[in-house]
Structure 1
């Protein structure tokens, strides 16, 4: 069983990876992490071991670095994410309480204020999806989605930073919540799967353009 400070060390490192403080390829050093987060090296060491076990970190000689996803791994991740997220929306349409649905609607309405701020919108996006996961009222599904979203932290950028994606993503969120509000599980499933599919297409186009620009 992890002690509170050990759990905190794990969460702090994972959050730092998630927000891009440490990007794929970044080397993680115990002493530097301990200084940054104000904890001893023991919980940092155990957190790093846990992250390595989860394939979020990888070895480069004797050093631990943040892992990266190749094209095939990215495609596999999005396939699984689309199916599990779609199922969560479908179950949310059936089982969400009125209060949970109201919170989802408020999130969509409030997130329009964040347009133009990709970092803030990315954080809001994670909260929105997490709320749908919880509204599914299926603990096993929530657990699997937590694993998927941990791997999403390995993506160096958010697709919400790409021009025009923020507006479209919020329109997609609105369609998802509308389906959940009416209890239409099939429509909620399709709306969320389409949302993930468009995000994947956006990321693929951005990656292709980046490769073209660098001439690699």
Structure 2
């Protein structure tokens, strides 16, 4: 059974409460069928996660923009470089199973297929699954947890941009970047894996100057 915190986090990340929207405590209590105490505790955690901020009668869903959003991408780039490095080191040490690498490739396949078919919401979901898989292969729970929180902030803050026109060649480059990262991890090459992961996220951050937000890739 999900906790009130998990339920509220899902509602925000999945878009039930869009960025910038104020949300009253009583509305959340009514929706979840719980009292104010667990809702307030959950909102305090979500505020520390950077997903909401206190408002007069509840909270407002945080929307990162400008420098704050770029900062989130820069931190993500550093952490994903670290997790890719660690995953490649584990592969070199013989600690990763062929099945785990197959799952990584499968997530990349699903992300590419959904994006090419124009289903950007599904593409974003599979993109995140791909990157979470890399982080899981690194076997560093601290990095995994911080990355998850940063991804939440980016997804919430860039959801509106998913319907904005993007560069047509970008989905092709995204898939190429994913494949290079998979190849480096599979080869057990930490330096190459780290560089590919960092460059991939920074390439996404570079699109922020071309359109509002930027699709998380």
Q: TM-score, normalised by structure 2?
A: 0.82
1:50 partnered with 2:62: no
Give 5+ residue unaligned stretches, structure 2.
Answer: none
The CA RMSD measured in Å over matched residues stands at 2.3
Measured in 2, the distance between the counterparts of 1:35 and 1:94 equals 49
Q: Helix, strand or coil: the match of 1:20?
A: coil
The CA deviation at 1:166 is 3.0
Measured in 2, the distance between the counterparts of 1:16 and 1:204 equals 29
**Which 10-residue stretch deviates more, 94-103 or 185-194?**
94-103
Corresponding position of 1:14: 9
**Which 10-residue stretch deviates more, 132-141 or 50-59?**
50-59
Listed as ranges, the matches of 1:134-153 within 5 Å are 134-153=136-155
Corresponding position of 1:113: 113
Measured in 2, the distance between the counterparts of 1:153 and 1:109 equals 21
Q: In 2 relative to 1, CA 158–127 (structure 1 residues): closer, same or farther, beyond 3 Å? A: farther
Cα deviation, 1:103-140, whole Å, max 9, x if unaligned, reads: 10122223333121010111111111111111001222
Equivalent residue pairs, number: 203
Measured in 1, the distance between the counterparts of 2:84 and 2:152 equals 19
The CA deviation at 1:77 is 1.3
- Is contact 2:161-2:212 (8 Å) kept? no
Corresponding position of 1:214: none
Give 5+ residue unaligned stretches, structure 1.
Answer: 209-216
The CA deviation at 1:177 is 0.7
Q: TM-score, normalised by structure 1?
A: 0.83
The CA deviation at 1:158 is 6.9
- Is contact 1:118-1:160 (8 Å) kept? yes
The CA deviation at 1:27 is 1.1
Corresponding position of 1:100: 100
Measured in 2, the distance between the counterparts of 1:123 and 1:114 equals 9
Q: In 2 relative to 1, CA 178–190 (structure 1 residues): closer, same or farther, beyond 3 Å? A: same
Q: In 2 relative to 1, CA 160–128 (structure 1 residues): closer, same or farther, beyond 3 Å? A: farther
The CA deviation at 1:42 is 3.4
Measured in 2, the distance between the counterparts of 1:126 and 1:197 equals 16
